[in-house]
Amino acid sequence: MVRERLAMGIPLSTAILLLLIADGYLSTLPTPQWYVPGFDVNLGWWLLNGVLVTIVTLVLSLLTTRELVRFAKGRGYQPFSMLAQIFVAGLVVGPYFAFNADPHLGLQDEGWGMLWLACAVGTAFFIQAVWLKTEKAIGNLATTIFIIFYAGGLAGFMTKMRMEFRGSEGIALLIFTIFVVKMTDTGAFFVGKTFGRHKMIPWLSPKKTWEGFVGGILVATLCSVLLGSYLQSTDLLRELPPGVLGYPWGLVIFGILMGMFSVAGDLSASLLKRDAAVQDSGATLQGLGGVLDVFDSPLIAVPPAWFFWARLVPMLEELGRLFSRG
């Protein structure tokens, strides 16, 4: 089992990592002037700023959507598959368009994502009313909207993190976050396998132990401090503010948060698989199961990571400046 995971996991992780690094490299190149005839749109700018991250995230999200639709259908619901895929794609690709478009258009506001979700709800109600009427209405609508939010709304924060921080900094933060999250899984697996005695939630995930949980958090924190220190020394990580999130405590807190959300993401996927009565979310990735089996932890962890770097850190920096003036 471990050999199969390594045989599939290492090449897959390497390929995704290289694509993310390539995306960051493209953003450092001089922008070619490839304008669309008749429009003031430079395709060169769009192709060099976030296109690879957006494509990778989009593919993973759509494959996850397909697996979730299969789960729901296995439980007797009829989620609107095509609708889910369209709106998942919009939530993932939206930040790419918002941050590459003219900033004066105001597309970078989070309200556009909420509007897109509202359109998804309205469209789902319309489809249910016209074609299925009241037949399993609550279940069909609930599963459809859940899939859109889970596979698209959460994954969209990956694109958003890349685009909001721009270039190499956005890529560094995204890779840093995913690395810490995945190291939580690795640490929990090996510590649990070696020292695990006390089951965490036996009916949900029989192999998970409290020892593994603690080990995963410790590994995540250690990786956060070590890699975060390196990124800070190369100016790829923004300087942490003074006070409670000051270096290195900010990295310690970040590692603990990512570890906890990583475990939450893994357990969430386990809950869905348990309800669907499947061991793996699919057979897309031989040795690893389905895409959700790989994508589950980052889905839950990246949104709070984005909030940490994009909102919490700047807010504390501003508060620090205000208090220093007083």
Domain spans, the chain: 57-165, 167-318
Residues with pLDDT less than 70, the chain? 1-9, 103-104, 239, 280-289, 324, 326
In this prediction, residue 250 carries a pLDDT of 92
Give backbone dihedrals phi and psi of 77, rounded to 5 degrees, phi first.
-90, 165
pTM metric for this prediction? 0.91
Q: To the nearest 10°, report the CA torsion of 198, 289, 276, 124.
A: 130
In this prediction, residue 321 carries a pLDDT of 77
DSSP letter, residue 31: P
In this prediction, residue 6 carries a pLDDT of 54
Strand partners, 199: 209
In this prediction, residue 64 carries a pLDDT of 95
In this prediction, residue 25 carries a pLDDT of 92
99-135, pLDDT tens digit by residue? Answer: 888 766 777 778 889 999 999 999 999 999 998 888 8
- What is the 3 state secondary structure string of 94-119? HHHHHHHCCHHHCCCCCHHHHHHHHH
* Residue (of 256, 230, 234) closest to 308 by Cα position: 256
In this prediction, residue 125 carries a pLDDT of 95
As a whole number of angstroms, the distance between CA 195 and CA 210 comes to 10
3-state DSSP assignment of residue 207:
strand
